[in-house]
């Protein structure tokens, strides 16, 4: 005995005649989402207006000196572009300092705590509880000056080669010796 699966569009309830016409849609953010992202399916013909309805959005992070975590803000690109008055936003962005690439953050379910990747240039060297991974140690050894510059800009303590605890924590013995730092 065989089975026949009949599929319908989640959006309109229309019968799906050909699976190749189905588009998988992952909804990551919506006011009615309660437990994180969900997946639905719809016919590609039902989604033709999506491109026309799409907004040009900008996602920015505001890193306030008195805040532990950045504030994420989403706004229309046109409104963001109006913030630049000295030069066009395109020019401001072209001449801006590059940020180390990290894996894009996916929204976390409400109440869940987002994990910080200390083995990235964006977070390496920040004081944190727990052990220092070999990946973070290597990153700190290879980019100590750059990391200390970022930590200073963030108003966080820097990694001091004359601090025995810092040297041991990040495995900086040879670098401290190479730079002639007196351990205290």
Q: How many CB atoms lie within 10 A of CB 38?
A: 14
Gyration radius of the chain's alpha carbons:
24
- Give the SS3 label for residue 166: helix
Residue 156 near residue 127 (C-beta atoms within 8 A): yes
Q: Nearest to residue 137, comparing CAs of 182, 174, 98?
A: 174
- Segment 121-177, tens digit of pLDDT: 888 898 887 788 888 899 999 999 999 999 998 888 999 999 988 989 899 998 888
Q: Is 53's pLDDT higher than 60?
A: yes
Beta bridge partners, 22, equal: 43
- The pLDDT value recorded for residue 9 is 92
Query: pLDDT tens, 88-123?
Result: 999 999 888 888 765 555 555 555 556 788 888 888
Q: Where are the domains of the chain?
A: 7-53, 57-94, 117-184
- Residue by residue, DSSP assigns 97-156 as PP----PPPPPPPTTPPPPP-TTSTTTTT---SSPPPHHHHHHHHHSHHHHHHHHHHHT-
């Amino acid at each position: 005995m065989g089975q026949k699966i009949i599929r319908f569009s989640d959006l309109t309830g229309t019968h799906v005649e050909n699976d190749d016409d189905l588009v998988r849609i992952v909804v990551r953010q919506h006011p009615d989402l309660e437990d994180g992202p969900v997946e639905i399916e719809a016919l590609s013909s039902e989604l033709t207006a999506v491109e026309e309805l799409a907004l040009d959005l900008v996602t920015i992070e505001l890193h306030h000196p008195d805040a532990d975590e950045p504030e994420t803000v989403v706004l229309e690109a046109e409104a963001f572009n109006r913030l630049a008055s000295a030069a066009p936003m395109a020019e401001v962005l072209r001449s801006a300092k590059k940020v180390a690439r990290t894996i894009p953050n996916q929204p976390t379910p409400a109440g869940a705590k987002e994990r910080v990747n200390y083995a990235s240039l964006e977070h390496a060297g920040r004081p944190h509880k727990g052990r220092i991974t070999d990946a973070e140690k290597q990153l700190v050894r290879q980019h100590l000056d750059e990391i200390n510059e970022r930590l200073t800009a963030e108003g966080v303590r820097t990694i001091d080669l004359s601090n025995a605890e810092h040297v041991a924590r990040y495995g900086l013995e040879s670098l401290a010796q190479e730079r002639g730092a007196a351990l205290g």
